[in-house]
Structure 1
Amino acid sequence: MTNFILLILLQTEPPSNDSFDVVILAFLSVAVIILAGMTGRVNMGFQVPGFPRPLSAKRKQILNKHFPFYKQLTPDRRKRFEQKVQYFIHVKEFIPRQIPIVTEEMKVLISACAVQLTFGYPKVFLSHFKRILVYPDNYYSTINKTYHKGEVNPRFRTIVLSWKAFVEGYFNPIDGRNLGLHEMAHALRLENLITNAEFNFLDEEVLQHWQYLADQEMASIKEGNSRMFREYAGTDPDEFFSVAIENFFERPEKFKSLMPNLYAILVLLLKQDPLNPI
């Protein structure tokens, strides 16, 4: 973690003021974030009143068979992951579209995807989004008259996914393309802005550093000079964040090697490191 701080301070400029005092304050704020993250790793568990039921054996079997992120965790962290998955399934309404039902496998894996992204935040469950709509394949949007693989609609408090595209995202775990993580990243950004019990959980100073570096990389993408991200990441800051999340989890070695500062900021934002999951 110390290396991350040095990289941020030595290789980037503060977003607004480069005075010595600002640098010192930035250093202290990042140090506080790291300490908080370390504390969170020690005490990742949470208690849900009236909800002690553990994840069923069937659901654990689904995770063991299909979810690599879960399988690499230590036994203690697996239990915490299972508890978050169980609660996510409990509080969301899974709605089938053009399919008879949302199967148990669908519920578990979609929930696990959300938990993968929010694992560093024990009490964050994307609570604004009450409904998960599942289509069998790409679906037609009557709003913008085009086909979609997924979307996040804060107005209707809904996350929409194509099951085929979701599965394809995990079928190739190293191509930097994962629909589930992409859409959950959109939901995460929105959740942080919506006034509720989960409001403003992402540290504002770290977000400022993120946006400063993201703007630089988006400019490189538009010029065709990005060594890491596909062209779609240059669409806008929200899409850049979602594409970065896909690469953060699927290609962490390459990401850290090519963009150590940007990678370090994501470690701080998400309070987890795919290269050090313990």
Structure 2
Amino acid sequence: MIVPLLLGLPVVLLFTYWGFNLTDIAYSKIYGKPMIVHDHLYLKNLNTDDIRIIARYSSFYNKLGAYKKRIFKHRVLMFINDKQFIGLDGFEVTRDAKVLIASVAVMLSFGMRNYLIESVNKIIIYPSPYFSSINRKYHLGEFNPLLKTIVFSWSDFLAGFQHNKSNINLGVHEFAHAIYFGSLHYSDSSSVLFFNGIKKIDALLHTETYIDKLSETNYLRKYAYTNKFEFFAVCLEHFIESPLQFQEQAPELFGIIKQMMNFEVVDVSNVA
């Protein structure tokens, strides 16, 4: 009877997976966070040079405890292995570039069990702002959901690390679009929580008095009010770079985003 048992094993695993997902979604609806986030059985490590780069540029990583730093490094490696990196206009895709891009993605998805941001397969990097033949304008970055591709101007991507109090961070901005899009098409607990947060933000955006009061603070740059997608991306930049001010200026919005991202710590701040 060994063969029938073996044949039945994938079915058992499939039902177990479905059962876990249903339980996880139910748990997230009750408690506002996934039941399990870091479910890695084996944690792979990065080389010394990779770790040095992350420690130099990522204050988020530096604030983590020892075990979660191991998870962060594992996720960075898995993200790098999962994506195709392409350099254009003479840009050479170095290991450091891959690590830095992956560290931004992993930071944003650190509170999620499905952390690879599946709405992205390719990452294209130009050395500087690039010209688009479609709208005849220079771009700093973009996310194309149909092609599952993120594009960065490397000089502007790096500026997000060098000026981390400016509330302008190209890496955060474009990955915010990718995570937003993914929440519309996936049904895991993190995507469900994220999408529920989007609905709450949409409700705020349709409240004229709220938007008027928020815009009067001049905390968010004007580009945030272009549309709901840009609003979230700009909000996430502020959430990462000036969380204390964000919490002070827009506590309700801050709380929604914090729950969406399931952040236990917030970058460059002491907010719990």
- The two structures have a TM-score, normalised by structure 1, of 0.79
In 2, the alpha carbon distance for the partners of 1:204 and 1:196 equals 10
Matched, 1:93 2:84: yes
Partner of 2:17 in structure 1?
Answer: none
Count, aligned residues = 243
Which residue does 1:44 correspond to in 2?
38
1:131 matched to 2:122: yes
The answer as to whether partners of 1:63 and 1:109 remain within 8 angstroms in 2 is: yes
| Alignment match of 1:193 (pick from 165, 184, 190) | 184
Of all paired residues, the percent bearing the same amino acid is 30
Distance change >3 Å, CA 255–CA 277, structure 1 → 2? closer
Q: Which of 253, 269, 274 does residue 244 from structure 2 map onto?
A: 253
Q: Which amino acid aligns with 1:92?
A: K
Q: What displacement does 1:68 show? A: 1.6
* CA positional deviation for 1:30: 8.3
Q: Give the CA deviation at 1:44.
A: 2.1
Given that 2:142 and 2:150 are in contact with CA atoms closer than 8 Å, whether structure 1 keeps it comes out as yes
Match of 1:63 among 41, 54, 59: 54
Question: Is 1:163 aligned to 2:154, yes or no?
Answer: yes
Taking the aligned partners of 1:74 and 1:252, their CA distance within structure 2 comes to 20
1:33 aligns with 31
Question: 2:238, 2:261 → 1: CA distance?
Answer: 14
Residue in structure 2 matching 1:179, options 149, 153, 170 = 170
The residue that corresponds to 1:107 in the other structure is 98
Equivalent residue number for residue 143 of structure 2: 152
Q: Distance in 2 between matches of 1:204 and 1:197?
A: 11
Contact 2:91-2:125 at 8 Å conserved across structures: no
| CA deviations over 1:38-62 (Å, ceiling 9, x no partner) | x44xx524247xxx53222221111
State the shift of 1:206 in Å: 3.1
CA contact (8 A) 1:135 1:161 kept: yes
The one-letter code sitting in structure 2 at the alignment partner of 1:220 is D
Q: CA deviation at 1:88?
A: 0.3
Greater CA drift, 252-261 or 56-65: 56-65
The SS at the match of 1:160 is strand
What amino acid is aligned across from residue 85 of structure 2 in structure 1? F
Structure 1, unpaired ranges of 5+: 1-27
TM-superposed deviation, 1:195:
4.9
Q: Does the 8 Å CA contact 1:88/1:125 hold for their aligned counterparts?
A: yes
Cα RMSD (Å): 2.7
Answering whether residue 233 of structure 2 is matched by residue 242 of structure 1, we say yes
- Decide which moves more: 207-216 or 267-276: 207-216
Deviation at residue 82 of structure 1 after TM alignment: 0.8
Distance 1:189 1:175 in 2: 22
User: How far apart are 1:99 and its partner, in Å?
Assistant: 2.4
How far off its partner does 1:123 sit? Answer: 1.8
SS at match of 1:202: helix
The CA deviation at 1:240 is: 0.2
| 1:129 to partner: Cα distance | 1.3
User: Which letter does structure 2 place at the counterpart of 1:188?
Assistant: I
TM-score under structure 2 length normalisation? 0.81
Say which is worse superposed, 207-216 or 153-162, in terms of deviation: 207-216
Q: What amino acid is the match of 1:44?
A: H
CA distance in 2, matches of 1:101, 1:47: 34
Contact 1:247 1:255 in 2 (8 A): yes
The residue that corresponds to 2:20 in the other structure is: none
1:65 deviates by 1.6
Which residue in the other structure is 1:84 paired with? 75
1:220 is matched with which residue: 191, 200, 212? 212
Secondary structure at 2:216's aligned position in 1?
coil
